Amino acid sequence: MLRRLLAPTTTVHAHCDLPCGVYDPAQARLEAESVKACIEKYHASDDEVFRGRAVAIKEERSDLVKHHLWVLWTDYFKAPHFEKYPQLSTLFNEATKLAGAGGTKGSVDVAVADALLAKIDEIAAIFWETKAA
């Protein structure tokens, strides 16, 4: 009886808790720029405590890059986009891997951060084309 009283009476469907419709690859890019800056500061310092903090922040920001990319990949881009831009899934896969443990999250290589930024820029170019259409 209590279960029936507490059961929802209306079912709604949305891609998130509050479908805002606001998407922008700039969020991923800003976090990726932060990742690169942390890597550069890591290399510029001899202070092990500072370097440890730089690594921790870099790893956190790398996770945020993946999060923002996943939101675009799973919530913004739809089947027609993937049909028009067949390279899109590969770009997202490569970008999220570059932000992951095999990429910036597990590395202090500036070149990896630059590669991540380049992938995000490729995704952003497609994103803005779809917004103009």
Q: What is the mean pLDDT of each run of 10 residues along the chain (133 residues)?
A: 66 53 92 98 98 98 97 94 97 98 97 98 97 86
Whether residue 11 contacts residue 23, with contact meaning beta carbons closer than 8 Å, is answered with no
Give me the pLDDT at residue 15, please.
Answer: 46
Rounded Cα–Cα distance for residues 5 and 99 (Å): 46
Classify the phi-psi angles of 61: left when phi > 0, otherwise alpha if psi is within -120 to 50, otherwise beta: alpha
Q: Which class would CATH give 25-132?
A: mainly alpha
Give me the pLDDT at residue 21, please.
Answer: 74
Whether residue 31 contacts residue 68, with contact meaning beta carbons closer than 8 Å, is answered with yes
Beta carbons within 10 angstroms of residue 83's beta carbon = 9
Token pair 């490569």: residue: 94
Distance between terminal CA atoms of the chain? 52
Give me the pLDDT at residue 87, please.
Answer: 97
- pTM attached to this predicted model: 0.85
Domain residue limits, the chain = 25-132
Token pair 């896969």: residue: 93
